[in-house]
Chain A
Amino acid sequence: MSHKTIINIGPFHPLQEEAEFFQLHVDGETVIDVDVRLSYNHRGIEKLDESKTFDQVPFVVERVCGICSASHPLAYVQAVEEIAHVDVPERSLYLRTIVNELERLHSHLLWVGLAGHFLGYNTVFMWAWKYREPVMDVLETATGSRVNYANAKIGGSRRDISDEQLREIDKVVGELHRPLDMLTNAVLDDPVLHARLKGVGILSPEAAKAYGAVGPTARGSGVPIDVRRDDPYAAYDLVDWDVVTAPGCDVFGKAVVRLLECYEAIKIIKQCIKQIRPGEIDAKVESIPPGEGIGRVEAPRGETFHYVRSDGSNRPVRHKIRAPSYVNIPTFKASCIGQQIADVAITLAAVDPCYSCTERMCRVVDADTHVQVYQFADLVRLSQQKTDRMRRS
């Protein structure tokens, strides 16, 4: 006899750091549908950017998502550089690549740890995060902060990395090989992990394409897309590396892709350090002409896309952000259905969802009258009321 219920997860729950709300429609133990409700974290960054000058925006977009805080500013500055037709100095291209790959390393290690935690392997969590700390340290020495790097700048980089620091980075990422081998072997050889991850959360290549999945989510389903190769930016076309894919289409595949990508990241960083030459790091952009531009960057979770339109003033008139989790989260519809409830946690986590970058404003429409309950005018009214409040206080 079928027994259908709805399980509510969230908005606050111990599974994920961030507030989000899932409804699992289950029949007995089997999931038959998922409903994802977002917007707890919506902060209105695109609108906020219109009130900032071009040079201030990188600091805001850095805070779109703390884990991709090198990718978002880079995508944004690339969009603006496209408008202003800037030639970025070569040294800066290498610097950008190094910081972005260090970010990928720390993000993937973070994911491996969290995945271990979700599966009840707290040792993996502790080990992965332990070996992530040296990466955070070199990021701190090179950029000044553990997580918000403030590195990209329109026309170049804000801060140079000295030769001494480059040597330190080279040493630290070199030493990462051993712990990475250990983690990879732990995942590839452990029979329990095989049983928990293989055949779980299947996302077929067709479904991945249909949902427009990007990054490790797509590559774990054997779809070889990677902006770093398909539309090279920074110094990715100057170094030698491979796009990692895995055939399994399951959670295991996604884990393998992330682990192997760490090795590629080390390879890229080492080559950058070898090839980087002294020189200018800033093209000194004076003004931004009217026009529109796009920037694409392969963030640790997939392609992040920024669109900027300028009218010749010192502020963007429109800034649109499409973060990778935004397209990856709907794949839950394909990968969760038919799973056991106990497997849902890791299936959701396999996408490495990041909600802070994904949150959108929702339109609420009354089903009977088709009237929008919350309209643009309401937003404007709210905004004006806020100004009014602030003026009076």
Chain B
Amino acid sequence: MALTTWALRKSLWVYHVNAGACNNCDIEVLALLTPRFDIERFGMILVGSPRHADVLAVTGVCTRQIMPRLQEVYMQMPKPCVVLAIGACANAQGIFTEAYHMGAAVDETIKAVDPSAIIIYVPGCPPKPEAMIAAAVKGMEFLKTL
């Protein structure tokens, strides 16, 4: 295991990007921080800059306006890092697939700049906070196998 991957296993710092979400996924992500769900017990915390983050939590459909910016945010993150695609929108553009202002889905957008990106999908519209915690824990387990 490379030293950088070893260091990733604990205390994941999360940077949250809204790539054109309806806000529901975002308030559920915020709810993770609050006393009921309290994701900090896993050492996770939301940070204000992608340069400090290990996890990129993306919600939303990835509109055309967002696409290049999302790629830029991803490129700013130190590698290796994990992408958490939260919600039906971020997984596969959900109900908005046929709308005219869609870019590529989040995974395609990120794989266009880094084909080896690690992407975790959390289905649901919006996923319950419990599902997001489960995904984060699975992600940590996965990192241990690298």
A interface residues with partner B (beta carbon < 8 Å):
11-14, 17-19, 39-45, 47-48, 51, 59-60, 63-67, 69, 110, 113, 125-126, 129-130, 133, 136, 146-148, 354, 356, 361, 379, 382-383, 386
Q: Report the bound CA distance from A64 to B65 in whole Å.
A: 17
Specify the main secondary structure of chain A where it touches its partner. Answer: loop
A51, B65: Cβ atoms under 8 Å? no
Inside 8 A of A69's CB, which chain B residues have their CB?
Answer: 22, 24
Inside 8 A of A59's CB, which chain B residues have their CB?
Answer: 95
Q: Report the bound CA distance from A41 to B20 in whole Å.
A: 4
Instruction: List the B residue with the shortest CB-CB distance to A41.
Output: B20
B96, A43: Cβ atoms under 8 Å? yes
* Closest-CB distance, A138 to chain B (whole angstroms): 14
B128, A146: Cβ atoms under 8 Å? yes
Q: List 22 A-B contacts (CB under 8 A).
A: A14-B46, A14-B48, A17-B16, A17-B30, A18-B26, A19-B17, A42-B20, A43-B61, A43-B63, A44-B100, A63-B95, A67-B24, A69-B24, A126-B35, A129-B30, A130-B35, A136-B31, A146-B128, A147-B126, A148-B24, A356-B22, A382-B100
B27 on the A face (CB < 8 A) = yes
Instruction: List the A residue with the shortest CB-CB distance to B93.
Output: A43
For the complex of A and B, list the 4 residue pairs with the smallest distance between their C-beta atoms, beginning with the closest.
A66-B24, A14-B48, A129-B34, A66-B23
Q: Report the bound CA distance from A45 to B99 in whole Å.
A: 7
Inside 8 A of A44's CB, which chain B residues have their CB?
Answer: 96, 99-101
Inside 8 A of A67's CB, which chain B residues have their CB?
Answer: 23-24, 27
B24, A63: Cβ atoms under 8 Å? yes
User: How many residues from B make CB contacts under 8 Å with A?
Assistant: 41
Q: Report the bound CA distance from A41 to B101 in whole Å.
A: 9
Among A14, A17, A136, contact of B26 (Cβ-Cβ < 8 Å):
A17
B66 on the A face (CB < 8 A) = yes
Interface residues in B26-70 (C-beta closer than 8 Å to A):
26-28, 30-31, 34-36, 46-50, 60-61, 63, 65-66, 69
B73, A48: Cβ atoms under 8 Å? no
Q: Report the bound CA distance from A44 to B25 in whole Å.
A: 19
B136 on the A face (CB < 8 A) = no
Inside 8 A of A13's CB, which chain B residues have their CB?
Answer: 48
Q: Report the bound CA distance from A383 to B100 in whole Å.
A: 6
B69, A12: Cβ atoms under 8 Å? yes
